Structure 1
Amino acid sequence: MNTSVSAAREATGFRTFTVMDGEALVLRAPTPYPIRTAFGTMHDRPAVLIRITDETGTVGWGEVWCNFPSVGAEHRARLINSILLPLLKGRTVENPEAIFAELSSRTRLLALQSGEAGPFAQAIAGVDIALWDIAAKRLGKPLWQVLGGRGAPQVPAYASGINPEAPERVVEAQHARGFRAFKLKVGFSRETDLENAARVRAVIGPDMPFMVDANQAWDLDKAIEMARALEPFAPQWLEEPLAADRPLSEWQTLAQKTTIPLAAGENLRGLSSFDEMVQSNAVGVIQPDLAKWGGVSGCRRAAQRILEAGRRYCPHFLGAGVGLLASAHLLKAAGGDGMLEVDVNDNPLQRELLPPFPEIADGSVKLPSEPGLGIVPREETIARYRTL
């Protein structure tokens, strides 16, 4: 049993509060170059932030996953403003977990009817993060402590979002910044993927952690072929080599055909889905995304089950600074040997939005010491990039 997460589940002493107001905001920041994955390209950096205020004026912030499709951010914000916040305003909150369950239940049929289970889950996740931010602020403690975390206020991190164009240059720059682990995007072509893996490994040497992410690019036969071809570069994990909806039997077959541990989980919804993945014994690194499903309430339970089963919990995240901070707090509270995913592509909605943004030092991120998430978004930055 992971005691820190267990303690978080049984946490008491919340100070009841009432939701008085809230809104979802859409921000879009330009990017100097596109962010490429095997399934699509981001031409700007979107973010949906949620701001909730209680009766004392305490403000909580959350973030919703919204990278794809390109119009997804505005749609998710409208779901929040037109459906979720009217359900929430005036509601007394004794524990954010109860509100997470209530919102999930009250919108279940609407999500089914509209065929939008994913967007609803993402919107609820963002609301949940904001409520936990308020709850921790009301207690006067950093969120990771409220969730039962112990020890030094830092978590190991890795540089993510490394595009296929000249990845060795990015790795060199991020190593100088303080990163000591790196994840390369693959899934483009065999020649490109293997050449880039060789370049990255040559830069970092034989011992530094290196991971690859295929973003669901391959079928089973191609995944087996590419996994075997990537083995000489000794990745710590191969992430999403198969589509998230492929049967677990295919993941089990792939796991038997390669020495590289498999990683997945960012596109799962619900504790039962994580339980099935854990029980399959096919995936060694499991990666819930708290802005895609679960928020803090759902993902801390998933983390507990992952760690109790002897798997590695490494939260997935690729967005703005609010969700990244929330992921760091949850990782610290969960314990284990997981690493925080930090998108290293230029994004004003991280550092510019949340100064002073935590820096990387010798491969770790230091968490803020202030209550809640610990950093408040700058209103000037919100005004500069807000589109809705």
Structure 2
Amino acid sequence: MNLPNANTDLSFFIQRIDVFVLRVPADPPVQTSFGIMKDRPAVLLRVLDPDGTYGWGEVWSNFPVVGAEHRGRMAATYLPQLVYGRRWESPQACFAALTDKLAVLAIQAGEPGPIQQIIAGLDVAIWDMVARRAGLPLWQLLGAPHATASPVIALYASGINPTDPEKLAAQKLTEGYRAFKLKVGFGEERDLRNLAAVREVIGPDLPFMVDANQAWSVQEAIAAGRRMANFDLGWLEEPVRADTSNADWAKLAREQPLALAGGENLAGTADLLAFAETEGVAVVQPDIGKWGGFSGCVPVGRAVQSLGKRFCPHWLGAGIGLTASLHLKAAVGGPGYVEVDANPNLLRDLFAGDAFRVVDGRVSLHTAPGMGVEPDLAACREHVTYQSP
């Protein structure tokens, strides 16, 4: 990574890893083309060094809807035994070693996703800890290009459900959001009706995107892209399964008019960059809590920018991961947005902190050390479903 100070000490020793799993009701439930979330989970990791310096990370845990506690227990079981007892030269070295050491377990258990996710969450926590120790905001430690006293990050309101979406879009508009993304994949008539309703509310000029959550075949996606063309959409996200061949993504790009976006369900530098290099892919969206943490996603983001594509981190969880996504975008720079779930989420609001204030579609990052988040676990003790010993 390109660090602002070559003398910055990135080495660390972890004395303790704490794991917390929380759930709060989702009202209204979050609807996608493949499932409904009736509550909002969060898997939080806290790392501490021998001097008491700490850092926070978050593990992606939305699906399956019963999977958050499993990820929490997995993190508490496997991460300490691999991380404790040695000084690591850098977060990147730890990330690479854990990825290598847990590869066989991922195969044996048939669970590469959860294992990649607990490594990613730990990496975020370690970077937060190292930045706090250095007395630097994390975006600065990561070498944010053209860094200012407070980077300003563009946002879009995401997760707008197919039930009365214009009401939520109108609410987000009044809250300061200036870009929006609607869930589609619920039938041609319903999708078109919702597109028209949201576009009418936000007006003809504000950015408007759609997300199909892997709902269609290639031919169905081509037809959908064509019928949605008149709504001036910024991108069509995951219209097909994430494991669709890059050749079929290119076919989709050629045969319908909308720019394509994806990447939240890809893992690994090679797969993400191959996707970014695909004809017609305009927006790449890795999820920092799903794969890579900062150690994986910052280099990928910079490579995506070098290809002339937009880098827009995916996030639909609690406030630690959202804050990490903002620092990730600041570190990579370039045009694009960070995703913010438009639906109520107590765990996002409590853990993102008071610094998260949307003004004219943007949020300014602070200059406090690390990510600057101080989760108030006492305020949501009743929502804790698992805590490591």
TM-based fold match above 0.5: yes
Identify the match of residue 324 of structure 1 among 313, 322, 325. 322
**Equivalent position amino acid for 1:370 in 2:** A
C-alpha deviation, 1:66, in angstroms:
0.4
C-alpha deviation, 1:28, in angstroms:
0.3
The match for 1:278 is 276
Following superposition of structure 1 onto structure 2, how do residues 188-337 of structure 1 map, counting pairs within 5 Å?
188-337=186-335
Following superposition of structure 1 onto structure 2, how do residues 162-173 of structure 1 map, counting pairs within 5 Å?
162-173=160-171
Identify the match of residue 371 of structure 1 among 369, 372, 385. 369
Percent identity between the two aligned chains:
47
Identify the match of residue 16 of structure 2 among 2, 14, 21. 21
TM superposition score normalised by structure 1: 0.96
Structure 1: gaps spanning 5 or more residues: 1-5
Following superposition of structure 1 onto structure 2, how do residues 338-353 of structure 1 map, counting pairs within 5 Å?
338-353=336-351
Indicate how the Cα distance of structure 1 residues 350 and 22 shifts in structure 2: closer, same or farther if over 3 A, else same. Answer: same
Please give the per-residue CA displacement for 1:337-378, whole angstroms capped at 9, x wherever unaligned.
010100121111011234315010001011122110112100
Indicate how the Cα distance of structure 1 residues 191 and 106 shifts in structure 2: closer, same or farther if over 3 A, else same. Answer: same
Please give the per-residue CA displacement for 1:144-201, whole angstroms capped at 9, x wherever unaligned.
0111111342200010110001111111110110000000000111111111011111
Identify the match of residue 108 of structure 2 among 113, 133, 154. 113
C-alpha separation in 1, matches of 2:364 and 2:86: 34
Contact residue 350 and residue 357 of structure 1 kept, 8 A: no
Please give the per-residue CA displacement for 1:59-97, whole angstroms capped at 9, x wherever unaligned.
110000000111110111111111112211233132100
Indicate how the Cα distance of structure 1 residues 157 and 179 shifts in structure 2: closer, same or farther if over 3 A, else same. Answer: same
Identify the match of residue 138 of structure 2 among 131, 134, 143. 143
Contact residue 307 and residue 313 of structure 1 kept, 8 A: yes
Please give the per-residue CA displacement for 1:80-122, whole angstroms capped at 9, x wherever unaligned.
1111122112331321000000000001111111111111000
**Equivalent position amino acid for 1:116 in 2:** E
Indicate how the Cα distance of structure 1 residues 285 and 12 shifts in structure 2: closer, same or farther if over 3 A, else same. Answer: farther
SS of the residue corresponding to residue 284 of structure 1 reads strand
The match for 2:92 is 97
C-alpha separation in 2, matches of 1:374 and 1:113: 38
Contact residue 17 and residue 55 of structure 1 kept, 8 A: no
SS of the residue corresponding to residue 24 of structure 1 reads strand
Of 145-154 and 238-247, deviating more is 145-154
Please give the per-residue CA displacement for 1:195-214, whole angstroms capped at 9, x wherever unaligned.
10111111111111000000
**Equivalent position amino acid for 2:345 in 1:** N
C-alpha deviation, 1:304, in angstroms:
1.1
Structure 2: gaps spanning 5 or more residues: none
C-alpha deviation, 1:384, in angstroms:
2.7
**Equivalent position amino acid for 1:62 in 2:** G
1:55 aligns to 2:55 (yes or no): no
Contact residue 4 and residue 140 of structure 2 kept, 8 A: no
SS of the residue corresponding to residue 40 of structure 2 reads strand
What RMSD over aligned residues (CA atoms) do the two structures have, in Å?
A: 1.3
Contact residue 24 and residue 50 of structure 1 kept, 8 A: yes
C-alpha deviation, 1:381, in angstroms:
2.7
**Equivalent position amino acid for 1:209 in 2:** P
In the alignment of these two chains, the number of paired residues is: 383
C-alpha deviation, 1:17, in angstroms:
2.5
1:31 aligns to 2:26 (yes or no): yes
Contact residue 355 and residue 378 of structure 1 kept, 8 A: no
SS of the residue corresponding to residue 384 of structure 1 reads helix
Contact residue 161 and residue 344 of structure 1 kept, 8 A: yes
C-alpha separation in 1, matches of 2:280 and 2:90: 35
Contact residue 323 and residue 352 of structure 2 kept, 8 A: no
C-alpha separation in 2, matches of 1:142 and 1:106: 30
C-alpha separation in 1, matches of 2:101 and 2:4: 23
1:65 aligns to 2:63 (yes or no): no
C-alpha deviation, 1:279, in angstroms:
2.2
SS of the residue corresponding to residue 223 of structure 1 reads helix
Of 297-306 and 13-22, deviating more is 13-22
Contact residue 351 and residue 373 of structure 2 kept, 8 A: no
SS of the residue corresponding to residue 263 of structure 1 reads strand
Contact residue 171 and residue 200 of structure 1 kept, 8 A: yes
Contact residue 353 and residue 381 of structure 1 kept, 8 A: no
C-alpha separation in 2, matches of 1:115 and 1:190: 36
C-alpha deviation, 1:15, in angstroms:
4.7
1:87 aligns to 2:82 (yes or no): yes
**Equivalent position amino acid for 1:154 in 2:** V
